[in-house]
Amino acid sequence: MAKEDYYELLGVQKGVTAEEMKKAYRKKAVQFHPDKNPGNKEAEEMFKKVSHAYEVLSDPDKRAAYDRYGAGAFEGGGGAGPRGPAGGAGGFHDPFDIFREVFGQQGGGGGGGGIFDEMFGGGGGGRDGGRDGADLRYDLEITLEEAAKGVEKEISFRKAMACERCDGSGAEPGSKKITCSTCRGAGQIRRSGGIITFTQTCPTCGGAGVKVEKPCTACRGDGRVAKNTKLNVRIPPGVDTGSRLRSSGNGEAGQAGGNPGDLYIVLSVKEHEIFERQGEDLFCEIPIKFTLATLGGTIDVPTLNGKASLKIPAATPSGTTFRLRSKGMPSLRGGHQGDQLVRVQVEVPQSLTSEQRKILEEFARVSGDAAEPTSRSFFEKAKKFF
């Protein structure tokens, strides 16, 4: 499901008049109508999307709500917005494909499937005559340490919640529900565009067939009001940038008995000063003295769990990579831990005291022309150039 804007679907600008929008809709509806495109799934899909977009935008209240929540319904934490009320497209940017990509790359290393699979099921339209609430997205940035150990975070955001005054019904307490005059209670209306007739969900009552006699004064008949809310979310160890968590039922409230939407938490892991993540492994580069590289010894290496010691054998060339088993990131599915890879960079002294210089000059003198194996083989090959 790609990012889709209702206005874009209809091919109009945001400030378009109702009349112009109707025209644009007619044109699209005729273009994609199933009768004109028999067996064409894409056209059928477009027809549904366009109809749904028009259904929302042709209703002044719904259009206002769409304009208002279409982007940035959350304070902080990045952009968020509702998906279409019937599971269609809307301000929910960033398709699910991104998630799959991220986990696809990790392949056998871990990540594919597992606990996140269930996220992609379900969704869908209103049940029981009501409208399901929109799904929401919250972008959350965490540190590498938090991603390694898991963390609980409190997030706060704004969303449409059931109105307390009318208990979500949209009707002013004491008032009755009356049959919708637009569809005469059918919930659907027939539209005719020249030779074509088709039915669509009634835009006045949203398919319920009834509407309230007197709209609730607190929510103006919507049944919901936008409120700030807080939620504790548990981030499991092993997540990576692009991981999504679904918090079921914590999206926007449904209307007229519809189910609430879901909240998707999309994670990004901050860059770390020392470690670079490579799947489940962590990579770092550590400078060592040329004397240590030559003579061998032990160094302290930072890990996500404090210090570890690493034995450097004598005669270690610069660029050698050592592996610290199970000091990397945990697998999202559990049971496995990546490694930490340490590449040593042999440092050349940048300034020498006169004593150091004397000793090194002496070292050079006693070494004479004796060369190490790598230079020997190099100069063998390079002979013809000299």
Q: Is 144 among the residues that bind Zn ion (CB under 5 A)?
A: no
How many C-beta atoms lie closer than 10 Å to residue 15's C-beta? Answer: 8
Q: Is 278 among the residues that bind Zn ion (CB under 5 A)?
A: no
For residues 223 and 238, which CB has a smaller minimum distance to Zn ion in the complex? 223
For residues 89 and 202, which CB has a smaller minimum distance to Zn ion in the complex? 202
Q: Sign of torsion, CA 364 366 371 372?
A: negative
- Which letter does DSSP use for residue 83 in this model? P
Q: Cα–Cα distances in Å, from 212 out to 2, 26, 55, 203?
A: 35, 29, 19, 14
Contact 280, 336 (CB under 8 A): yes
Pairing between β-strand 263-269 and β-strand 276-278 as defined by DSSP bridges: unpaired
End-to-end Cα, the chain, rounded Å? 65
Contact 338, 287 (CB under 8 A): no
How many C-beta atoms lie closer than 10 Å to residue 122's C-beta? Answer: 11
> In angstroms, what is the minimal distance from the CB of 255 to Zn ion?
11
φ, ψ for residue 347 (rounded to 5)? -90, 135
For residues 177 and 336, which CB has a smaller minimum distance to Zn ion in the complex? 177
For residues 119 and 210, which CB has a smaller minimum distance to Zn ion in the complex? 210
For residues 208 and 342, which CB has a smaller minimum distance to Zn ion in the complex? 208
Stretch that binds Zn ion, among 200-208, 324-332, 363-371, 377-385 (CB under 5 A): 200-208
**How many binding residues for Zn ion (CB under 5 A)?**
12
Contact 135, 262 (CB under 8 A): yes
| Closest to 266 (Cα-Cα) out of 94, 12, 8 | 94
Site residues (CB under 5 A) for Zn ion, limited to 76-95: none
Q: Cα–Cα distances in Å, from 269 out to 97, 146, 272?
A: 19, 9, 9
For residues 37 and 182, which CB has a smaller minimum distance to Zn ion in the complex? 182
> In angstroms, what is the minimal distance from the CB of 182 to Zn ion?
4
> In angstroms, what is the minimal distance from the CB of 81 to Zn ion?
22
Per-position x/- string for 29-68, each x denoting binding to Zn ion as judged by CB under 5 A, each - no binding: ----------------------------------------
Distance, CA of 277 to CA of 286 (rounded, Å): 16
> In angstroms, what is the minimal distance from the CB of 216 to Zn ion?
3
Site residues (CB under 5 A) for Zn ion, limited to 158-187: 163, 165-166, 180, 182-183
Pairing between β-strand 196-201 and β-strand 188-193 as defined by DSSP bridges: antiparallel
Q: Is 205 among the residues that bind Zn ion (CB under 5 A)?
A: yes
Who contacts 3 (Cβ-Cβ below 8 Å, separation ≥6)? 89, 92, 93, 94, 95
Per-position x/- string for 214-243, each x denoting binding to Zn ion as judged by CB under 5 A, each - no binding: --x-xx------------------------
Contact 186, 219 (CB under 8 A): no
> In angstroms, what is the minimal distance from the CB of 131 to Zn ion?
13
For residues 3 and 184, which CB has a smaller minimum distance to Zn ion in the complex? 184
For residues 208 and 235, which CB has a smaller minimum distance to Zn ion in the complex? 208
Question: Which of 200, 204, 268, 320 forms a contact with Zn ion (CB under 5 A)?
Answer: 204
**Sites of contact with Zn ion (CB under 5 A):** 163, 165-166, 180, 182-183, 202, 204-205, 216, 218-219
